[in-house]
Structure 1
């Protein structure tokens, strides 16, 4: 075990650390984080509109009329329907700020670039088909490339410089003028070529060749297991696995939950929506208490441990753990770089990924149809994320029981070692 730990520390951790701090991946991650409040509001609107309780639906109709769901529909239009527009702006902003360039100007130019590349409807309106989740990959590519070109031109000598005394907002606007002209003209020429040569668009090419195949692969048990394994392996070595893998998880799994929401809003049952593995799938059924299902670890400590140290750490960590915040237990027990906890910390989430996937794929539990704050406590999240089904709660309880049983033998082993150390010290 010590040799494996040494190899991982020397070879794996430096690579993972560099990936986690890579500015483009960080910009994508921060871009999604910036719009997360809107995603949660949009999900709650879908959930309220389609809450599967007949008495609630009748009550709303009697009070507000048959069109009461139009309010939630409008909220969805302002959130998920323009997801790609939001992501291109926020990702560009964060990437430009990492270079100390004008983030607002970069975001505006990137947004304009994306709109140029987006097909229009017959009446010359912006197509929601590509402004939402289906245009997500083009949004990310556009944000990264446009911002790189923008910051190179913005920091070059080919900009308009204003005299001293001019307000800073005006100075920034004129400095961004030439970069904006160059980028928008160049992108307009590219879009014209797409239309002229193939009567197609960059959106269609990227969606059919990259995004669609990746989403098909991601909505599978093997891919879900890889995500679960890598996330916890990174965490074990003290690296924030959720943040490092965040750009991948958000880019691939966000369109899947949005597709489920669209169909659920159209009246399709949560059992019959297509996608099993989504971000809420991990948050609600695997990461209960945080990565490693550490809520189960806290409960296992109370059941099996006699060590004052472990019980006090668990007592302090329990309130945060209920809201899926697990840094106190991760570094206080500790789990990080603790070989005795490596197996249950990684094996537990892998087992729960399998049980959750089977439960949803066999139709025992509805699939996920709502984005919730990641701090939503278990039981509540299981109910809401499955469209108000008790089966989601039941799956969470079963998964917690499985994780507790996996943790208990290892807790007893480390507890014996801890008590022996305490007796020796005494």
Structure 2
């Protein structure tokens, strides 16, 4: 064990420290954190709709929220909240990324956020298409109606045949649908593209700013005006670089760059991370980092938030909007079957593995209270119960400590891997609904999994099974620690 820990401290710890402090990754991590206020507001709205619109239907036949005035209006209000948050999460993230990148480069943060946002918007679709399902015989009328609603101009033209004199009447359709922003280019699907064009555009902007390639105004001009004018040349250069790339990419491939990213990068990567092996490795990596006192979820934020977080936003969107004529959890399950939604997302880790914090330490606290005879362990455990119930485990991580504690190393790694196995295969087998809601991480464990799955009563049972298994993994090591003398001051 000592040799292994020495090897980890020599080779793993320095690398992890560098990763955790690398400025671009810090900016990316802070960008995800920066979106929390609005994404949690949208998640709250979706969750309320799940409770009042979808949950009662599981127990009451014929339940229809549209027939209940107050609740129906509440669903509509929550829809507006969703429109401004989850529905445009990619756009919000793009601004947050630009702001935080500019911050680490010590340039105008507001301009950096706007450059990143503009770089994303310029490459999305600006035209609308629509599909309607209509009874046979009504296709012509319904198609015209759909085209009109989409912005097309439909006019009726009458012509006379010059030879026969016959009069013909037909509809002339002029496509006027330009100017409709495609929502699938602004929601969670935009994350990968926002990262690519955001990093490129803002780095160009920041480099030019730092080289003072700017418009300089006299000192008498108000600072806000001077800052805005100073950003004009760098911002223009950065956006033209992205525009030229978008133009030639579209000319050569016939695709928008954002569609190519979604098709050839995002979907394969997200599909790969849905595998059990990938989920297990990420779980293990988080624990290893934490054991050495490094915040594992922060180090792995590009994967946890960028990949699994995007998957969660897609699940949320499908839950809210439906899929294939279905609503709520049924819509998510149908979309998973078609490869359009995901079994394992960011909130799945919180629901089934990180109860009490990384490592599932709430059960360690319980094991100590029941089986430990060490006064130092018992004191820390009692102090950690309150925070642990809200998934705050720093008191036990650094007070017990778990960090660099050889006797607790094995259960700290093994217990979460057993928990993730239970949660993963329970979700995969359909024993519990997939996570489709973002629930704030300080929500107590069993309630968190219940809410995160769209109020599936089976989810807390799965979490409880994982907790029981983890408890029995921790117990032998807690008992073994009784034979070790507390460290001397």
**TM-score under structure 2 length normalisation:** 0.83
Query: What is the Cα deviation at residue 150 of structure 1?
Result: 0.4
Matched, 1:407 2:467: no
128-137 or 258-267, larger mean C-alpha shift: 258-267
Query: What is the Cα deviation at residue 261 of structure 1?
Result: 2.1
Hey, what's the Cα distance between the residues in 2 that align with 1:232 and 1:345? 7
- Unpaired stretches in structure 1, ≥5 consecutive residues: none
Matched, 1:307 2:374: yes
Matches within 5 A, 1:66-105: 66=72, 68-105=74-111
Matched, 1:230 2:285: yes
Hey, what's the Cα distance between the residues in 1 that align with 2:455 and 2:63? 13
Query: What is the Cα deviation at residue 36 of structure 1?
Result: 1.2
Which has the higher relative contact order, 1 or 2, with Cα contacts under 8 A spaced 6 or more apart? 1
Partner of 1:343: 410
Residue among 251, 258, 269 paired with 2:329: 269
Q: Is the 8 A contact 1:60 1:68 kept in 2?
A: no
Residue among 280, 289, 292 paired with 2:356: 289
Hey, what's the Cα distance between the residues in 2 that align with 1:217 and 1:11? 27
Hey, what's the Cα distance between the residues in 2 that align with 1:105 and 1:153? 13
Larger CA Rg, structure 1 vs 2: 2
Where does structure 1 differ by over 6 angstroms across 4 or more consecutive aligned residues? none
CA RMSD of aligned residues (A): 1.9
Partner of 1:298: 365
Query: What is the Cα deviation at residue 389 of structure 1?
Result: 2.0
Paired residue total: 422
Q: 1:237 to 1:69 in 2, by over 3 A?
A: same
Query: What is the Cα deviation at residue 259 of structure 1?
Result: 2.5
Q: Is the 8 A contact 1:368 1:386 kept in 2?
A: yes
Query: What is the Cα deviation at residue 398 of structure 1?
Result: 1.2
Matches within 5 A, 1:346-425: 346-418=413-485
SS of 1:272's equivalent in the other structure is: helix
- Unpaired stretches in structure 2, ≥5 consecutive residues: 129-176, 337-341
63-72 or 171-180, larger mean C-alpha shift: 63-72
Partner of 2:16: 16
Q: Is the 8 A contact 1:26 1:247 kept in 2?
A: no
Query: What is the Cα deviation at residue 64 of structure 1?
Result: 3.0
Structure 1 residues 143-168: Cα deviation after superposition (integer angstroms, max 9, x where no partner): 21111100111122321111112211
Query: What is the Cα deviation at residue 81 of structure 1?
Result: 1.4
SS of 1:254's equivalent in the other structure is: helix
Q: Is the 8 A contact 2:184 2:190 kept in 1?
A: yes
Partner of 1:239: 294
Partner of 2:164: none
Matches within 5 A, 1:163-182: 163-182=218-237
Query: What is the Cα deviation at residue 68 of structure 1?
Result: 4.7
**TM-score under structure 1 length normalisation:** 0.95
Partner of 2:68: 62
Hey, what's the Cα distance between the residues in 2 that align with 1:45 and 1:78? 11
Q: 1:385 to 1:157 in 2, by over 3 A?
A: closer
Structure 1 residues 334-378: Cα deviation after superposition (integer angstroms, max 9, x where no partner): 110111111000100001000111111112111111001111111
73-82 or 55-64, larger mean C-alpha shift: 55-64
Q: Is the 8 A contact 1:228 1:350 kept in 2?
A: yes
Query: What is the Cα deviation at residue 187 of structure 1?
Result: 2.2
Q: Is the 8 A contact 1:293 1:349 kept in 2?
A: yes
Hey, what's the Cα distance between the residues in 2 that align with 1:307 and 1:156? 60
